[in-house]
Amino acid sequence: MIKQATLAALFPAILLAGGCDDASKDKADTAEAPTTAQAGKTAPGANDLDKRLAEIRSQSTSAKIEEFNQLKDNDPKLLQKSVVAEVKKQLPLLIDDATMMEDVSAEGNTFTYKFVIKGLPASITQNEEWRSNMQKVIITNYCSNDNRVKVFRSLFPDGAVYNYYQDNKLIYSWKAQPAICK
């Protein structure tokens, strides 16, 4: 339960840290909040609890327990691995009209994003002004004082790498590290 809550809290932070172009328009659909009667119908019941307990039992394999026992008390590897796995389940994600988050990974204490850019001419994405703008957006999002982003930075203390691809070629890469957030 704690793991799911932590991952749920981190997921918006991970998306916030994505560094999408600030000139993009938010196209989120506005949804009406459910009424109390509707919310009551979707409240988790005993069947949901049974499913969750079965899920917990199924992930309690001897290999997973051994992996857990090998961790030091302050070792974030298992949680880092879980964050990557949970984000991967949500991919691909359209960040804006020209940007899609296609993949994420972690190596050591560094989180890596793979974004695909479409619909922008190479003359724009190769322009230093575009790259400078991307860097500013990444810094603003990565250095947010939002508690979820702070947890994300502490979970990946070596930073986050933002890789942007166009036509299957890496066109821009920048690494944000906690030290830039002063």
Q: How far is 68 from 52, CA to CA, in rounded Å?
A: 20
Question: Both tokens of residue 33?
Answer: 């909040």
Per-residue pLDDT of the chain (182 residues; tens, 9 = 90+): 344 434 444 444 444 444 444 444 333 343 444 444 444 444 556 788 888 888 888 888 998 888 878 877 777 888 899 899 999 999 999 999 999 999 999 999 999 999 999 999 999 999 999 999 999 999 999 999 999 999 999 999 999 999 999 999 999 999 999 999 98
Give the integer Cα–Cα distance in Å for 171 and 174: 10
Distance of CA 53 to the CA centre of its chain: 26
**Burial of residue 30 (number of CB atoms within 10 Å: 0-12, 13-18, 19+):** exposed
Answer whether 110's CB lies under 8 Å from 159's CB. Answer: yes
Locate tokens 């860097």: which residue? 135
Residue 11 main-chain phi, psi, to 5 deg: -55, -45
User: What does the domain layout of the chain look like in residue ranges?
Assistant: 2-20+57-180
**Residue 16 burial class via C-beta count within 10 angstroms: exposed 0-12, middle 13-18, buried 19 and up:** middle
Written as one string, the DSSP assignment of 35-71 is: PHHHHHHTS--HHHHHHHHHHHHHH--HHHHHHHHHS
Architecture of domain 2-20+57-180: 2-Layer Sandwich (3.30)
Both tokens assigned to 12: 């918006």
